[in-house]
Structure 1
Amino acid sequence: MDLHGTQVLNLFYRFATSAWGQGFAGEAATKVTAWVSRHVPDLPLIARVRPANIASQRVAIRAGLARAQHLGGAGYDGLDWIYASKLPN
C-alpha cells in the first residue's frame, strides 16, 4: 500500500473477542515482523491503530514497531495512529 508517497506493507490483525487477551495477536504480529525482515527487508512495515485501542498499540510495540507520530491522521474510517519499522528518513 501507499502511505504518504512511500510503499509500505500494512500489518493488519483482527481477532474475535473470544480470542482477546490470550496473546494470539502479539504472537502473530511478531512472527509476521520477523518474516518481513527476512523476506522483504527493503519494505517498511506499518500498523494502523486507533488511538483508543491500547491493546493494539501494545501488539504493535511488541512486534517491534514504534509510533510514527508525524504519519498519523485520518484513516479510511477514523483517526489512525501509525506504528512502523524501517521507514526511510
Structure 2
Amino acid sequence: PFSDRIRNEVGMATMAVGNIYEPDHVNSILMAGRADLVALARPHLTDPYWTLHAAVTLGDRGVKWPDPYLPGRDQLYRLAERDAAAGLKV
C-alpha cells in the first residue's frame, strides 16, 4: 500500500516488497500501476530459479535460460502444456 500511495500521489518511481511470492501477484502489482518494480527475496532463497519457473507458469517462452538447463526447461514446458490441457493450474 505504501508503494502505491507514494507512486500515485507523489509521482515517484517505487518498488513493492514483502509477502510477494506468486507470479500472478507480481504481475497484478505492476499492471495495476501500484509499483514500478517488485522485489522478491524469500522466493529466490527457496528456489534460485524462481524467475525462470515463473516465466514457464505465465507461458513466457522468451526468457533466456542458461544452456545447461535447456533440457529441464523443455521438460517444464511439456509439463505445463500437459497441465494446461488437463485444466490444471501450473
Give the TM-score normalised by the residue count of structure 2: 0.28
More strand by share: 1
- Bigger radius of gyration among the two: 2
Instruction: Indicate the structure with greater helix content.
Output: 2
User: TM-score, normalising length from structure 1?
Assistant: 0.28
